[in-house]
Amino acid sequence: MAIWIEEDAKVLVQGITGKQGHFHAGKMVEYGTNIVGGCTPGKGGQTVELEGKDFPVWDSMTEAITATDADATVIYVPPPFAAEAIMEAAEAFDSVKGEGIVICITEGIPTLDMVKAVAYVNNRPGVRLIGPNCPGIITPGETGGAKIGIMPGHIHAKGRIGIVSKSGTLTYEAVAQTMSINEGQSTCIGIGGDPVNGTGFIECLAAFENDPQTAAIVMIGEIGGNAEQEAAAFAAENVTKPIVGFVAGATAPPGKRMGHAGAIISGGKGTAEEKFEAFKKAGIACANDPSEIGSVLLQALKDAGLR
């Protein structure tokens, strides 16, 4: 078990013929992800070569899912077209099989496009959106596994720590920290740094709590909004597994966007201090520095009798 994505999940790539999509599709195949083809409107019937093997391309997601019974799709479509790609995937999964996971890597999608896309996905309860502007999701296997996104596969190993984060490279940092104490990962999810996105912290925490493979959780937030505070309140009531937390942006000046569209302190709200406080109040073990995540996690595991 893992969450949402099993090791052998069948995965489609939207934008597989584009530069980014093609490059990352190759990396996913190399890692062992069960890529079953891709979708690029206007290029249906063609094939794409990845790691010496040919993969089919469809014109539409409905055709692609019907043909492959895919479990998930990953989107590398440029920002002007990405929201529509999300909606196409959501509708296709909903109508063909009633469920599916849509992972959108694209950075720079207009916020109002995402407002529409998220409402559209939410009208199809069997469909889950992860991202956009995120590294994706990975469920490491004994050998290979399902890497769906842009994260470096080789730093991961199968294990019992669930990781959820708004940031890409900071997630890799957290992965490296679990490895430094000889722990692997059940599933790692980047939920993305945009103000309007799909899956949030709370859904990830709930899924990790219910996942027998996951023993403890690392949650990494950043300034802006109050998703971390709400997640902390949820965790206090509903999560029994140990959680280790970190929030990036303690030194960020108010009113300035720090790289991510959503990473901004507005009206004095959404500060790292506020979020760390919410974490501590909820009994989450906080790391002051990402390099401490490993040692704080080790202590949390020991305290819970897991080491």
Chain residues that interact with other proteins, rule: CB under 8 A: 27, 79-80, 108-116, 118-119, 135, 150-152, 154-155, 165-173, 176, 193, 195-196, 220, 222-227, 246, 248-253, 255-263, 267-268, 272, 288-292
Catalytic residue annotation: 260
Phi-psi region of 270 (alpha: psi -120 to 50; beta: other; left: phi over 0): left
- Give, in order, the Cα–Cα distances in Å from 272 to each of 46, 220, 251, 277, 285: 49, 11, 8, 8, 15
State the DSSP code for 199.
S
Pick the closest to residue 93 from 119, 113, 121 (CA basis).
Answer: 121
Structure tokens at 137: 């999701």
For other proteins, the closer of residues 124 and 241 by Cβ is: 124
The whole-angstrom separation of Cα 28 and Cα 21 is: 10
The whole-angstrom separation of Cα 9 and Cα 23 is: 20
For other proteins, the closer of residues 164 and 215 by Cβ is: 164
Q: Could you give the 3-state DSSP secondary structure of residue 89? A: helix
User: CB 69 → other proteins: shortest distance, Å?
Assistant: 30
Secondary structure percentages of the chain, helix, strand, coil, to 5? 35, 25, 40
Structure tokens at 125: 């309860």
User: CB 129 → other proteins: shortest distance, Å?
Assistant: 11
For other proteins, the closer of residues 161 and 174 by Cβ is: 174
User: CB 238 → other proteins: shortest distance, Å?
Assistant: 19
User: CB 174 → other proteins: shortest distance, Å?
Assistant: 10
For other proteins, the closer of residues 97 and 116 by Cβ is: 116
For other proteins, the closer of residues 128 and 166 by Cβ is: 166
Q: Could you give the 3-state DSSP secondary structure of residue 202? A: helix
Compute φ and ψ for 74, nearest 5 degrees.
Answer: -125, 130
User: CB 45 → other proteins: shortest distance, Å?
Assistant: 30
The whole-angstrom separation of Cα 225 and Cα 181 is: 32
Contact 242, 303 (CB under 8 A): yes
